[in-house]
Structure 1
């Protein structure tokens, strides 16, 4: 993967949130106002932990590679460029790269008063490894 392939730029190592990820991710903040947006890039095998957006939602606009999104109690769904995921408030979920592919999405935060993120447990390694 070449950096020029990443439509909105690789950004910097996602050190601020590294404790909530398994593997290396990168963050390039695109906007801070309105609906804050960031380009998030995952190295192969990288994914975030289960988490919940309280009082707000999130939209993922997939731009490169292959990844997954999963809601608690549902099967994981494969993501590819052009896919859009609308995540409702209070839904426990995770997202990240496939084992063999870089993956990039634009994360759009839906503004809401007193919103917060609750970071939870890591995705089960055995379950993740069963994904295609």
Structure 2
């Protein structure tokens, strides 16, 4: 088994064991099961609301993979974006949404795994009431990491299917 797969499995196992921490939100404190630091606030040009990124595995020429953790405060979401080699999301806490362009919005919860196909527009973020925490995996980074696009409108975010 390659070292990257072992590392990812170890991270997922650690997430399932978890430890209690408090992450502040705009209106209240929400308990989450996180072993990673909150990280840096995502830039407003790529996110609506507050999203916090904590890089876990930096890109290098051996693995060509990026792994990180993002916490979306309630109501926060990414812009539409694409990844040249796709993206895998492991939802580790909370409730959120994920949508591929042209398809209905999906509700995602702790324990869900989402595969975002290569070169496909999509977005993801927290539900209005509950924050969401996710681990992201970006493979084959030699093809590129991300192309950020337009903001997700309130109408798109709130549209139920």
SS across alignment from 1:126: helix
Matched residues in 1 for 2:37 and 2:159: separation? 28
Q: Is 1:121–2:150 an aligned residue pair?
A: yes
CA displacement at 1:87 relative to structure 2: 1.2
Answer 1 or 2: higher relative contact order, Cα 8 Å, separation at least 6.
Answer: 1
The structure number with the bigger radius of gyration is 2
Matched residues in 2 for 1:28 and 1:124: separation? 26
Alignment counterpart, residue 46 of structure 1, candidates 76, 89, 93: 76
Alignment counterpart, residue 101 of structure 2, candidates 66, 72, 78: 72
> Contact 2:105–2:159 (CA<8 Å) still a contact in 1?
no
Q: How does 1:81-120 map to 2 (within 5 A)?
A: 81-120=110-149
Matched residues in 2 for 1:9 and 1:116: separation? 22
SS across alignment from 1:73: coil
User: What CA deviation, in whole Å up to 9, does each residue of 1:95-125 have, x standing for no partner?
Assistant: 0000111100001111242324211111121
2:53 counterpart residue number: 27
2:86 counterpart residue number: 57
Matched residues in 1 for 2:40 and 2:142: separation? 29
5+ unaligned residues in a row in structure 1: which ranges? none
Alignment counterpart, residue 8 of structure 1, candidates 35, 56, 62: 35
SS across alignment from 2:71: strand
5+ unaligned residues in a row in structure 2: which ranges? 1-20, 24-30
Instruction: Give the count of matched residue pairs.
Output: 130
2:44 counterpart residue number: 18
> Contact 2:81–2:123 (CA<8 Å) still a contact in 1?
yes
SS across alignment from 1:127: helix
Matched residues in 2 for 1:10 and 1:75: separation? 32
Superposed CA RMSD in Å reads 2.0
